[in-house]
Structure 1
Amino acid sequence: MRLPYSRQASRKTRISSFSQAMALGLLCLGLILLGGLQTKAFFPDMIKIPPLNKVPFQPDFQDDQFQGKWYSLGVADNTIQNGNGSQLTMYSVNYELQDDHSFNVNTSMLRDEVCEHSVETLFPGFQPGQFTLGNLTSYRGVMSYIVRVAATNYSHFAMVYVEKIVRFKWYYKMTLYGRTKKLRHKLKERFIKFTTSLDFTKDNIAFSVPIGECIDG
């Protein structure tokens, strides 16, 4: 039995529309998959980034107690892939509290036998213990820079998380600071447990070699 022409045309139109929709759907799926592969290739570590809301705040953060000198004892960093084989040289940072509750952060480190000093300003964020880098546009390629004090007892240790985007690439790390250069075993184990709970691996973790030059001035 032949269908009337109008019904045949309507059926052909429906089949054509369905075919076009299927083709468009497959094209979109292909583009999504391709985009995902390109994104993974461009941001290979993106999936490992701990959500910022997963990183805790130090409760009732006291900036006046946090200020002063700290030594870098260790770090968990997404750019470190062989923590046990990494040799990090200790550096020092001095947090100078300003009247507006920002910090001038003075860093001293030894690089290629040369003592280097740098100063950055951190402005308080929406919650005590979180900061953003001041004058962001003066740092080439830096699109975002967030600092969060995750844990500290002010007198012995601090764990400070930094997440930044540089030229569309994510970098993130948790630094372990101490008021002295000595890293106690209990604190070391606590840092490893804490950072691995944030999806860092043990291969991302390295500890610093103490030095006397440059950082004690």
Structure 2
Amino acid sequence: MQATLLSVLALALLGTLHAQDSIPVQADFQQDKLTGRWYSIGLASNSNWFKEKRHLMKMCTTIISSTAEGNLEVTSTYPKGDQCVTRNSLYSKTEQPGRFSYTSPRWGSKHNIHVVETNYDEYALVATQISKGTGSSTMVLLYSRTKELSPERLEMFTQFSREQGLADDEILILPRTDKCMADAA
């Protein structure tokens, strides 16, 4: 009986690990080319906060820079009401190039971040598995070097989000805004 229970637990753990590894990572990832200014064009998530705040969300700017240790410093500036809010995050590198981890000091959630696909000078598709306590959620971000992307790139984002199990009402092309865009350095 115990051996069966252990087998079931081991299979469940393997399934969880496999699920995390099923998100692809950019082949031959070149971190230095990912740095600089990006605009968040698309956001998809099955988290409760996304469902509650979806109608308020707008495009934002994100500045990515590398630290001396090889981690990523990610600074996002976004409109919230009539203010501009800036959030800083430090993504720690993992053994796999293009994959990072982050623990939110505010919420205690653990983020497993994958740079899925990028050509570095036009777009970047990033998928994150978020776990907190017993719950988990998926988030997909589409970044662009400009405030607009081709319909083909937007469709690629939508299709990839669906492949991650996200429904159409959990996928959002962020409304364009000029608010808070000049504040990002």
Give the TM-score normalised by structure 1.
0.69
What is the match of residue 76 of structure 1? Answer: 44
1:103 and 2:61 matched: no
Judging by fraction of residues, say which structure has more strand: 2
Tell whether the 8 Å contact from 1:87 to 1:209 is kept in structure 2 after alignment: no
1:202 and 2:168 matched: yes
Structure 1: gaps spanning 5 or more residues: 1-49
Deviations 1:30-88 (A, max 9, x none): xxxxxxxxxxxxxxxxxxxx922221100010000011111110112113569xx8453
Aligned residues: 163
What is the match of residue 15 of structure 2? Answer: none
Structure 2: gaps spanning 5 or more residues: 1-17
1-structure distance, mates of 2:73, 2:51: 31
Greater Rg by CA: 1
Judging by fraction of residues, say which structure has more helix: 1
1-structure distance, mates of 2:163, 2:21: 13
* Cα drift, residue 107 of structure 1: 0.9
1:122 to 91, 94, 98: 91
2-structure distance, mates of 1:206, 1:51: 24
* Cα drift, residue 202 of structure 1: 1.6
Q: Percent identical across equivalent pairs?
A: 25
1:215 to 176, 181, 185: 181
Tell whether the 8 Å contact from 1:87 to 1:206 is kept in structure 2 after alignment: no
2:19 to 51, 54, 59: 51
1-structure distance, mates of 2:118, 2:35: 12
What is the match of residue 165 of structure 1? Answer: 131
1-structure distance, mates of 2:153, 2:55: 19
Tell whether the 8 Å contact from 1:143 to 1:168 is kept in structure 2 after alignment: no
What is the match of residue 152 of structure 1? Answer: 118
Partner amino acid, structure 2, of 1:183: L
1:90 and 2:59 matched: yes
Change over 3 Å in CA distance of 1:109–1:140 after alignment to 2: closer
What is the match of residue 178 of structure 1? Answer: 144
RMSD of equivalent CA atoms: 2.1
Q: Secondary structure at the match of 1:209?
A: coil
2-structure distance, mates of 1:165, 1:201: 19
What is the match of residue 30 of structure 2? Answer: 62
